[in-house]
Amino acid sequence: MSLHAAERPTRILVDLDRIAGNLRAIRAHAGVPVMAIVKANAYGHGLVPVARHLQAVGVEHLGVAFPEEGVALRRAGITVPILVLGGIFGPQVAQYLAHDLQVTVSSLDKLRQVEAAAQALGRRATVHLKVDTGMERIGVHAWTAGPFIEAAVASRWIDLAGIYSHLACSDEPDSPMTALQLERFDEACAHFGRIGVPVPPRHIANSGGVLHFPQARLDMVRPGILLYGVLPGPESRPTVAVAPALSLVSRVVYFKVVEAGHSVSYGGTWTPAADTRVVTVPIGYGDGYPRALSSRGSVLVRGREYPIVGRVCMDQFMVDIGRDSAWNEDEVVLIGRQGDSELGVEQVAAAAGMIPYEVLVGLNDRIPRVHRGAYPDAE
């Protein structure tokens, strides 16, 4: 960590041991191996430190969105299998093979691209077949999967490591969509039996699938946000005991009395009716803290919750503490616990009109991350 970063009062604190505990809880609940999803900077928690810790505690598989994320992990010494979940961009296929990344193959055309790259490099490609069961994102439709599966099985340049799909509504336990998707996926996978070939490892359960649908756990599960201790949706049921791993903290850098009738921040959108005490916190939307929290969000100071007032600025925002006291350098908790009070990322997201995923992945690298656990210096 640079001297500048070490001195900045705003920081993200990540408890790696909590992530490891969440992994253990998910594995025990699902009863099958886990592909831990670490895309988008490990949901804002820090790609390399999180992946290193997960590897150290025995995770079976990692999942990323783009080959660039996989290459970064390989260069950091990660050796466990890594699946790139996103769609293939042809010119990048050689990078998958050069760095031993598993490829999502989502059509016959993509299969041919991978075969050509593998043949040119003289090395086999490890792939997972993607079946679209209802997302309409990438993957062959389940009802047309037969020729696709047969081509993959017959390929001289392909090692088939899995077949998978993705659940669209699993964070809604009562949605009928999941049952329909599972039915479609089972029918696609049945084609292996029809051609007399063992079915490769099947996986479809994301965080919601782990929580709500035992029949979706199959041969492996792919938790994302649940791994970091956050439920995937407001209707989700906490069937697995997980704990949030990320806190966002800062410090008071200014205190003043704002007189009645004097507006605060850009646009003058908030004006106190009576004299009040206002403190300034050095973090803003330039750090990925949502501007939508203007006069809607709150923070913890000295164990009490206070409202954000006026518009969140690029680099700072103001908080109304009323007649209470606060001192410069007092800790301010934006996400996390302080004393007996807690602001969960779910509460922050609801105040901003967002989902927790957006809040977490939006926190950018201008905020230093401090990892507590086995790899505190792996920034």
Q: Which residues are catalytic?
A: 39, 266
Q: How many Cβ atoms sit within 10 Å of the Cβ of residue 259? A: 10
Q: How many Cβ atoms sit within 10 Å of the Cβ of residue 214? A: 13
Please name the residue ranges forming H helices in 167-319.
177-194, 207-212
Single out the residue of 48, 41, 86 nearest to residue 67, CA to CA: 86
Helix, strand or coil for residue 42? Answer: helix
Pairing, β 331-338 against β 61-64: unpaired
Q: How far is CA 211 from CA 220, 266, 281, 335, in A?
A: 14, 43, 37, 24
The β-bridge partners of 103 are: 84, 127
- CA of residue 5 relative to chain centroid, distance: 24
Provide the residue type at 117 as one letter. A
Q: How far is CA 288 from CA 291, 344, 363, in A?
A: 8, 17, 4
Pairing, β 61-64 against β 35-37: parallel
Pairing, β 82-84 against β 61-64: parallel
Confirm if 207 and 43 have CB atoms less than 8 A apart.
Answer: no
Confirm if 59 and 260 have CB atoms less than 8 A apart.
Answer: no
Q: In angstroms, rounded to a whole number, what is the distance separating the alpha carbons of residues 259 and 52?
A: 51
